[in-house]
Amino acid sequence: MAYLEAILINVAIYAIATLGLAIFTGYTGLFSLGHAAFMAVGAYAASILTYFYKVPFLIALLVGVVLSVLVSFLIGYPTLRARLRSDYFAIATLGFGEAVKVILENFDLTQGARGLPGIQKFSTLGNAFLLLAVAVILCRNFLRTTYGRKIIAIGQDPVAAEMIGIPLLSNQLLSLGISAGLAGLAGGLLAHYTTFIQPSIFSMDLSSLITAGVVCGGMGSLTGPVTAVALFVIIPELFRGFALWRLVFYGMLLVIIINWRPRGLFGYEELNRKNLPKLFSIVGITGGLSLFMPTYRWVIESRGYEIFALFVAGVTVGAVTGLFGLLGKGLSLALAPVAERYHSVRSRLGKRLTGLGEENEQALSSIKEHRFRETAPSKKVCPSDATFLAGKAADSKEGLFSGDPNAERGARSAGQHIESIGDAESGGPTYYRETSPILEVRELRKNFGGVVAVDGFSFYLNKGELLGLIGPNGSGKTTVFNLISSVYPVDGGTILFQDKDITEWGPTEVVGAGIARTFQNIRLFGSMTVLENVQAALHREGTYSLLEGFLQWPRSVPRVERRLRDESRRLLSIVGLEKESDRRASTLPYGLQRKLEIARALALRPRLLLLDEPAAGMNPREASELVELIQRIHRDEDLSIILIEHHMDVVMSLCPRILVLNFGRLIAEGTPEQIQGNPLVLQAYLGEKAYAVVR
Amino acid sequence: MFIQTIITGLSIGSVYALMAVGYSLVFSVLNFSNFAHGAIITLGAYIAWAVMVHYLQVPFFPALLLSMGGAGILAFLNERIAYSTLRRRRAPSLYLMISAMGVAISLQNLLYATIGAKLYALPPVFAMDVVHIGDLTISKMDIFAFVFSALTIAVLHLILIRTKVGVAIRAAAHDMEMVSVLGVNLDVLVGVLFFLAGSLGGMAGVFMGVKYMVYPSMGWITNKAYIGAVIGGLGSLPGAIVGGLLLGLLEALVSVSSLGGTSLSTYRDVFSFGILVILLIFKPTGFFGRHVEDKL
Amino acid sequence: MLLSVEGLNVFYGEAIHALRDVSFSVEEGEIVSIIGANGAGKSTLMWTLVGLLKPKSGRILMREKPVRPIPHLSVAAGISLVPERRRLFPHLTVRENLLLGAYLRKDRKGVEEDAERVYQLFPILKERLSQYAGTLSGGQQQMLAIGRALMSRPKVLLLDEPSLGLAPVLVDQVFRAIQDIAASGTTILLVEQNALEALQIAHRAYVLEVGRIVLEGKGKELLNNPIVRAAYLGVAQHTEILLERTNHGESATFEDSPPTTATTAPDSKMFIME
């Protein structure tokens, strides 16, 4: 019994440590190879307190956790600030792990390499599993908050995360801190279970066990790594004769998993009813295999026939495996009604817990109604009339490559029709609501290794204007966007936004000031759902504290989360994606991914929206829908917009004023008509010879 | 005394450089830290031990060649088994690194499980161990290791500059996809690359074995050569050489110095890792590393 | 038929269907252009033709023999790509860049001869042989990229946006060189955003739209097609007027002589394939 207890306690301790690494590596995508060092910090801190100072166990554990967190900031701050590539960061943590070990070996208080013997045995099956349960629940809660979503977003695409205003450093540090805290907790528990610690315990071997747990359990999952590491602790016990081969096996497993099943056990999902059979089969196979040798030996001893023994052992393995497989299937089926019941109870309970639920609903629906009334007139006119025309024109245009020259003009006039409706409604041209510049760019300059990408480009954008920015491929348009949104540092010139000089501001500050953008090569958070993509961008409106988030505090978190969800749905409905909200973003077709990017940008409450080729890869029908969408958000959300686009009809029908860029310089500016007639523009687009010919 | 320390440092540093070049070659093309290289180095040393001591009494130079060839083939197999799938799938470099770690863990523990943790010595190469130049007493093996490492690196340099495959390797370091579009079979090219890196590692392993001992963890991930490669700038050959030499020198100097009466030699490893961490903070790409910018 | 493509379907990830049932063919000695907007799938098509992207279905045939979608096999089959944005090796010399283009060839003499031909075509490259490719100007880099692709003695040369980021004068130079190469017997498949230039020099052309080929015809026919003009000749209406003027005899270049012969200098009989 003591033997079983030992295994189980080890399972709990390593599961806590692995959970820690899972919440860092599994979600941020940064690899730490020094997590054993955080365990060491926790273990030594707690042991020294209970051993020398007789501090109560739980307090000592807590101090160990806090110390681990602080140490993790110490190593994390400089390395994460330097924006090391993921493998350099891994190397830095590796170096840190070794350094901690060497320091422990040469430090008097820790009694050097001899270690600390005689620590009291405080860890029990009860408190270890209790702490594991608490840790799992806290981590799960954390991931379901804005704080958690920020970290997941960073792991998916750091650049896109920054472009929706999520600061990388603080969030990565938060994740590392939680992670180190859990490792410290596991270390403290370990020390008070084994009653003896020395620096060599906290070696790379330990780090690799935890790493193997996260990789094999699956990145982006909590229960996966916990399950995997539990198996890692239990399985070698079943094959005791092969103790030395344990690490050989882990190493091979790492190679096999990462090569042929990079999602691991439950990559990007948690243990649930549907993957229960999978888990049971794995347990069944290992359990069955572990019975092979004992059965074989037992038969040999009692009967003595080798072939018979082999047969019986084989049947036993098969039977156990099959039994577990069936058990898993059965359990999964049996749980189906329970799961349903759970969900319905939970949703009811959730409503009651928030208390104000009903009132909120009412308030919300009244807001919605208000909004609807506001936008009602345009909605009434557009679909019946103009969009219909545009749609029809687009239809005929699609079939038109067989040759109907009037259709293009039809589409064009439909576009104008929409515009004129917009005009009539607001009592003037939609695009000149106000005339003070919201953005002013002076003498902007950027070189890439001697190649001039932007060469003294100056322009202004009026408040509420929809400005077109065109030019041949490679003319520097996207670079201008990248400079405004601070993806690259500016080499020269100034950028004024709402009369503030934002030239030197960082990306998240620029977003905070009210500039949002989309990307030419779509950058969504692929393994998040459509809804979560938008929710992630609403991070600044998650107005509860981190502590409340951890506890999923019923008085604040559910209310705020519901508001964020509703708001995300509203934003999705603006771009017409509300029906897709539960789909994984990466499974959306191209056109819808672009629309989702727009919804995500709108969630940042921008004053200025930078759209980088939103119609690229769209067919004429989709493009004309997009024109309608851009007009709608321009009007309804009170936005200023700069549009980079190659579809000329899109630009011409949307933008009253167009800038033409070539070789990083402004070569023309004016209304669509002026641009179309400008010889310099023709030359830039058609080439000199061709231009000479047509001239 | 000081000059002697420098010479010892340069000698061990040149062997580090030899190993570091292997890390950097692979990094320059495939963009990941091949942690398994250390295990290949170790296996190279064990091959020498097997043919020189354990099974046969092969003389030094044939044994060196066998080690180089064997380690080269092992490195080649390592790539085929653990990396080629990921490479063809264009997986993130992190995946390759994890796979490399898996190989490193497996191979090192395979040695523990089969041959055991015992330390084995390789027979000395020279009967008379030292030469005297003035006051200096220099180990012949030190000179030999230095000269031979330098020669080998020079040969590697020539291969990279003069041969078609070498030029393709340098080109692949910049743009592997484009190299394949020009007709280079990437499987073959990467195979050659790993064979080269592996055989350099095998040679370094033999030198290490002669100078110190042969044991399973001699090439573990945290070995000095790897740190040297990082300090010099992963992916850069001059960087690997400078980084390796620097660490060798540092190690030799720290071993003989003391601070306030306590010898610093126990803190030798802290020094190397300290330099590593400091450098990663202030100049993450190392002395000669290229800057990798995220492209939008 | 030199190159023919049958029912090519290419996907990115799970959801993005980048090429849909693309079929077309290129005859020996032709210049064929494929035009289309950004994101239409032009570059995807090029990458698929050289084996960098694996099609989900469909075949690529060279002289009726299927080519497996593996880059070095495509080159061996006679397909050579000048990629978008050139993708030279900036830390290698001009000469090393050129020689890499001949990686698969064993005949040293032939390689030297072809190098000489490239120098004839682009004399500036000969002056810069030992310079690093990264130090060349944009136009020179494009010339080097074309030269590098020619070094494999391709049967068909694929060009992806050769005019990208070049000043108009240089664009003309590059297009003239392309015509020279075609005149000397190398078949050309050209993908361009600059539709006017591309259609002018093309014998035949295809229009690619959102991954589909929606239109095909003789280069000049397409040049006069109102839809093509509206959608791809940039600034539509004005161009339309200008083009009409051109076609009514103000310039002889379009009407009278096919562009390939018109601009081929007598002494530039190069790359004649045995």
Out of A88, A254, A487, name the one closest to residue B101 (CB): A254
Question: pLDDT tier at A268 (50, 70, 90 boundaries)?
Answer: confident
Q: What is the mean pLDDT of residues B249-255?
A: 86
Q: What is the pLDDT of residue C230?
A: 67
Q: Do C15 and A613 touch (CB under 8 A)?
A: no
Inter-chain Cβ pairs, chain A and chain C, closer than 8 A: 130
Q: Give the chain C residue nearest A475 (alpha carbons).
A: C165
Q: Give the chain C residue nearest B183 (alpha carbons).
A: C72
Q: Is the pLDDT of residue A372 over 90?
A: no
Q: Do C148 and B182 touch (CB under 8 A)?
A: yes
Out of A298-302, A343-347, A357-361, A651-655, give the one with best mean pLDDT. Answer: A651-655
**Residue B287 in domain:** no
Q: What is the pLDDT of residue A241?
A: 67
Q: How far is C134 from chain B (nearest CA, A)?
A: 12
Question: Cα separation of C22 and A9, whole Å?
Answer: 61
Q: Do A278 and A338 fall within a single domain?
A: yes
Q: Do A316 and A372 fall within a single domain?
A: no
Q: Give the chain A residue nearest C211 (alpha carbons).
A: A617
Q: What is the mean pLDDT of residues B26-30?
A: 93
Q: What is the mean pLDDT of residues A157-165?
A: 92
Q: Is the pLDDT of residue A309 over 90?
A: no
Q: Please name the residues in contact with B96: beta carbons below 8 A apart, sequence gap of 6 or more.
A: B30, B32, B34, B83, B86, B87
Question: pLDDT tier at C166 (50, 70, 90 boundaries)?
Answer: confident
CATH classification at residue B183: 1.10.3470
Using a CB-CB cut-off of 8 Å, the residues of chain A touching C167 are 663
Q: Do A363 and A455 fall within a single domain?
A: no
| Residues facing C159 on adjacent strands | C82, C190
Element housing A441 (H / E)? strand A437-448
Question: pLDDT tier at A406 (50, 70, 90 boundaries)?
Answer: very low
Question: Any idea which residue has 């392309």 for tokens?
Answer: C178
CB distance A653 to A416 below 8 Å: yes
**Residue A232 in domain:** no
**Residue A82 in domain:** yes
Question: Which range, of A157-171, A275-289, B169-183, C62-76, averages the lowest pLDDT?
Answer: A275-289
Q: What is the mean pLDDT of residues A451-464?
A: 92
Question: pLDDT tier at A203 (50, 70, 90 boundaries)?
Answer: confident
CA distances (Å), A350 to each of A344, A547, B285, in order?
10, 19, 51
Q: Do A179 and A100 fall within a single domain?
A: yes
User: Could you give the strand order of the β-sheet that contains C16-26, starting from the edge strand earlier in sequence?
Assistant: C16-26, C3-12, C57-62, C65-66
Out of C164, C175, C210, name the one closest to residue A618 (CB): C210
**Residue A570 in domain:** no
Inter-chain Cβ pairs, chain B and chain C, closer than 8 A: 56
Please tell me the total count of domains within chain A: 4
Q: Is the pLDDT of residue A189 over 90?
A: yes
Q: Do A646 and A629 fall within a single domain?
A: yes
Helices marked H in A470-545: 477-484, 507-513, 530-537
pLDDT in tens, B115-155: 988 999 888 887 667 888 877 888 888 889 999 999 999 99
Q: Give the chain B residue nearest A97 (alpha carbons).
A: B273
- Give the residue among C218, C224, C214 at the shortest CA–CA distance from C248: C224
Greater confidence (A324 vs A68) lies with A68
Greater confidence (A376 vs A126) lies with A126
Question: Cα separation of A542 and A555, whole Å?
Answer: 14
Angle at C189 between CA C37 and CA A451, to 5 degrees: 60
B 148-167: CB under 8 A from C: 164, 167
Out of C13, C163, C210, name the one closest to residue A619 (CB): C210
Question: Cα separation of A81 and A168, whole Å?
Answer: 9
Domain ends where: A172, A202, A232?
A202
- Give the residue among C204, C206, C196 at the shortest CA–CA distance from C258: C204
Using a CB-CB cut-off of 8 Å, the residues of chain A touching C164 are 472-474
Question: Cα separation of A283 and A269, whole Å?
Answer: 19
**Residue B185 in domain:** yes
Using a CB-CB cut-off of 8 Å, the residues of chain C touching B164 are 99, 103
Q: Do C75 and B178 touch (CB under 8 A)?
A: no
In whole numbers, what is the pLDDT of chain B averaged over residues? 88
Q: What is the pLDDT of residue A427?
A: 39
Q: Is the pLDDT of residue A379 over 60?
A: no
Q: What is the mean pLDDT of residues C17-34?
A: 95
Q: Do A185 and A123 fall within a single domain?
A: yes
Q: Considering the entire predicted model, what is its pTM? A: 0.84
pLDDT in tens, A227-247: 999 988 888 787 776 777 888
Q: Do B182 and C76 touch (CB under 8 A)?
A: no
Question: Cα separation of A314 and A21, whole Å?
Answer: 38
**Residue A676 in domain:** yes
Q: What is the pLDDT of residue B45?
A: 96
pLDDT in tens, A589-599: 888 999 999 99
Q: Do B273 and A253 touch (CB under 8 A)?
A: no
Question: pLDDT tier at A321 (50, 70, 90 boundaries)?
Answer: confident
CA distances (Å), A320 to each of A145, A273, A283, in order?
42, 21, 10
Greater confidence (C56 vs A362) lies with C56
Question: Cα separation of A570 and A562, whole Å?
Answer: 12
Backbone angles phi, psi at A582, to 5 degrees: -95, 5
Element housing C189 (H / E)? strand C187-192
Q: Do A143 and A46 fall within a single domain?
A: yes
Q: Is the pLDDT of residue C253 over 70?
A: no
Max intra-chain CA distance, chain B: 63
Q: What is the pLDDT of residue A457?
A: 95
**Residue A563 in domain:** no
- Give the residue among A586, A587, A22, A537 at the shortest CA–CA distance from A270: A22
CB distance A446 to A454 below 8 Å: yes
CB distance A139 to A178 below 8 Å: yes
Share of chain B above pLDDT 70, in %: 93
* ipTM score assigned to the predicted complex: 0.90
Q: Do A158 and A16 fall within a single domain?
A: yes
Question: pLDDT tier at A691 (50, 70, 90 boundaries)?
Answer: low
Mutate to test the interface with C, among B90, B164, B182, B291 (most CBs of C within 10 A): B182
Q: What is the pLDDT of residue C252?
A: 33
Greater confidence (C254 vs A526) lies with A526
Tokens found for residue A472: 């041949």
**Residue B263 in domain:** yes
Q: What is the pLDDT of residue A399?
A: 36
Please tell me the total count of domains within chain B: 1
Mutate to test the interface with A, among C10, C35, C38, C200 (most CBs of A within 10 A): C38
Greater confidence (A127 vs A346) lies with A127
Q: How far is A608 from chain C (nearest CA, A)?
A: 24
**Residue A577 in domain:** no
Domain coverage including residue B6:
2-282
Q: Is the pLDDT of residue C244 over 50?
A: no
**Residue A592 in domain:** no
**Residue B133 in domain:** yes
Judged on CB neighbours under 10 Å (0-12, 13-18, 19+), B258 is exposed
**Residue B290 in domain:** no
Q: Give the chain B residue nearest A518 (alpha carbons).
A: B296
Inter-chain Cβ pairs, chain A and chain B, closer than 8 A: 140
Question: pLDDT tier at C274 (50, 70, 90 boundaries)?
Answer: very low
SS3 A583: coil
**Residue A245 in domain:** no
Question: Cα separation of C20 and A623, whole Å?
Answer: 19
Domain ends where: A354, A373, A403?
A354
Using a CB-CB cut-off of 8 Å, the residues of chain B touching C104 are 183
Question: Which range, of A209-223, B40-54, C249-263, averages the lowest pLDDT?
Answer: C249-263
Out of B91, B102, B109, name the one closest to residue A255 (CB): B102
Greater confidence (C167 vs B249) lies with B249
CB distance A598 to A612 below 8 Å: no
**Residue B258 in domain:** yes
Domain coverage including residue A484:
431-514+606-694
Q: What is the pLDDT of residue A429?
A: 41
Using a CB-CB cut-off of 8 Å, the residues of chain A touching B292 are 85
Q: Do A78 and A155 fall within a single domain?
A: yes
Out of A212-216, A363-367, C116-120, give the one with best mean pLDDT. Answer: C116-120
Q: Give the chain B residue nearest C13 (alpha carbons).
A: B89
Tokens found for residue A585: 């973003």
Q: Do A258 and B86 touch (CB under 8 A)?
A: yes
| Residues facing C11 on adjacent strands | C17
Out of B167, B180, B183, name the one closest to residue C92 (CB): B167
Q: Do A482 and B296 touch (CB under 8 A)?
A: yes
Using a CB-CB cut-off of 8 Å, the residues of chain A touching B109 are 244-248, 251
CB distance C132 to C110 below 8 Å: no
Beta strands A451-462; A665-670: pairing state: unpaired
Q: What is the mean pLDDT of residues B58-78?
A: 96
Q: Do A509 and A395 fall within a single domain?
A: no
Q: What is the mean pLDDT of residues A515-529?
A: 92
Q: What is the mean pLDDT of residues A655-663?
A: 93
Q: What is the pLDDT of residue C96?
A: 96
Backbone angles phi, psi at B258, to 5 degrees: -145, 160
Q: What is the pLDDT of residue A508?
A: 93
**Domains of chain C, CATH where assigned:** 3-263 (3.40.50.300)
How far does Cα A627 stand from its chain's mean position? Answer: 29
Question: pLDDT tier at C248 (50, 70, 90 boundaries)?
Answer: very low
Out of C16, C165, C234, name the one closest to residue A589 (CB): C16
In whole numbers, what is the pLDDT of chain A averaged over residues? 83
Residue type, A73: F
Q: Do A385 and A508 fall within a single domain?
A: no
| Residues facing C93 on adjacent strands | C132
Q: Do A486 and A610 fall within a single domain?
A: yes
Q: How far is C57 from chain B (nearest CA, A)?
A: 19
Element housing A459 (H / E)? strand A451-462
Question: Cα separation of B148 and B143, whole Å?
Answer: 8
**Residue B289 in domain:** no
Question: Which range, of A307-311, A437-441, C49-53, averages the lowest pLDDT?
Answer: A307-311
**Residue B295 in domain:** no
Using a CB-CB cut-off of 8 Å, the residues of chain C touching A685 are 194, 196, 233-235
C 64-83: CB under 8 A from B: 71-72, 75-76, 81, 83
Q: Is the pLDDT of residue A384 over 60?
A: no
Question: pLDDT tier at A688 (50, 70, 90 boundaries)?
Answer: low
